[in-house]
Amino acid sequence: MEVTTREVEANVTCQHLLNRQLASIQERIKVHLPKLDKVCFALYDTREHLLRSYADSSSLSLSLIHYEAPLSSLPYLKKCIENRTATILSDIESLHPSPYISSLIEDGFQSSVAIPTFIGHQFRGFVFLNSHQKDAFCHSGIELVKPYLNMLEATIFSEYQLVHRLVDKANKLIARSPVYQRESISHKQRVSSYTNIIALELADRYDFDDEFVEHLTLFSQYHDLGKVKISPELLCKQQALTTEEITKLRGHILYGEELVEEFIEECDASEHRSAQLLREVISFHYEFLDGSGYPRQLSGGAIPISARIVCVANIFDALTTHKPYKQACSVPYALLELEKMVYDNKLDADCVNALRDRQHQLKAIIHRYPERDPLEGPY
- CATH 1.10.3210.10 in the chain is located at 161-376
128 neighbors 115 (Cβ within 8 angstroms): yes
pLDDT at 7 (0 to 100): 39
- Give CA separation, 197 vs 158, 202, 222, 329, 352, in Å: 26, 9, 17, 20, 11
Assigned superfamily of 33-144: GAF domain (3.30.450.40)
Angstrom distance (rounded) from CA 109 to CA 58? 13
Backbone angles phi, psi at 113, to 5 degrees: -125, 130
Q: 88 pairs with which residues across the strands? A: 113
Outline where 117-251 has alpha helix (H): 139-144, 146-175, 178-206, 210-219, 232-235, 243-250
DSSP code for 40? E
The pTM is what? 0.80
What is Dmax (Cα atoms) for the chain?
A: 70
DSSP code for 207? T
pLDDT at 338 (0 to 100): 97
Backbone angles phi, psi at 269, to 5 degrees: -125, 30
Residue 181: name the closest of 250, 256, 232 by CA.
232
| Cα torsion 62, 66, 68, 74: sign | positive
Sequence length of the chain is 379
DSSP codes of every residue in 306-346: HHHHHHHHHHHHHHTS-BTTBPPPPHHHHHHHHHHHHHTT-
Angstrom distance (rounded) from CA 54 to CA 44? 9
pLDDT at 5 (0 to 100): 40
377 CB-contact burial (10 Å; exposed 0-12 / middle 13-18 / buried 19+)? exposed
Q: Tens place of pLDDT for every residue, the chain, 379 residues?
A: 443 443 334 444 444 678 888 889 999 999 999 999 999 898 888 877 888 888 888 754 444 457 788 888 788 788 889 889 999 999 998 887 777 788 888 889 999 999 999 988 889 999 999 999 999 999 999 999 999 999 988 888 887 888 889 999 999 999 888 887 777 889 999 999 999 999 999 988 888 888 899 899 999 999 999 999 988 888 877 788 888 988 999 999 999 999 999 999 999 988 888 899 999 999 999 999 999 999 999 999 999 999 999 999 999 999 999 876 678 899 999 999 999 999 999 999 999 999 998 999 999 999 999 886 655 554 4
- CATH 3.30.450.40 in the chain is located at 33-144
56 neighbors 19 (Cβ within 8 angstroms): yes
Angstrom distance (rounded) from CA 308 to CA 168? 25
pLDDT at 169 (0 to 100): 94
pLDDT at 59 (0 to 100): 59
pLDDT at 13 (0 to 100): 41
Angstrom distance (rounded) from CA 8 to CA 10? 5
pLDDT at 275 (0 to 100): 92
Fold classified for 161-376:
Hypothetical protein af1432 (1.10.3210)
Angstrom distance (rounded) from CA 58 to CA 182? 42
pLDDT at 376 (0 to 100): 56
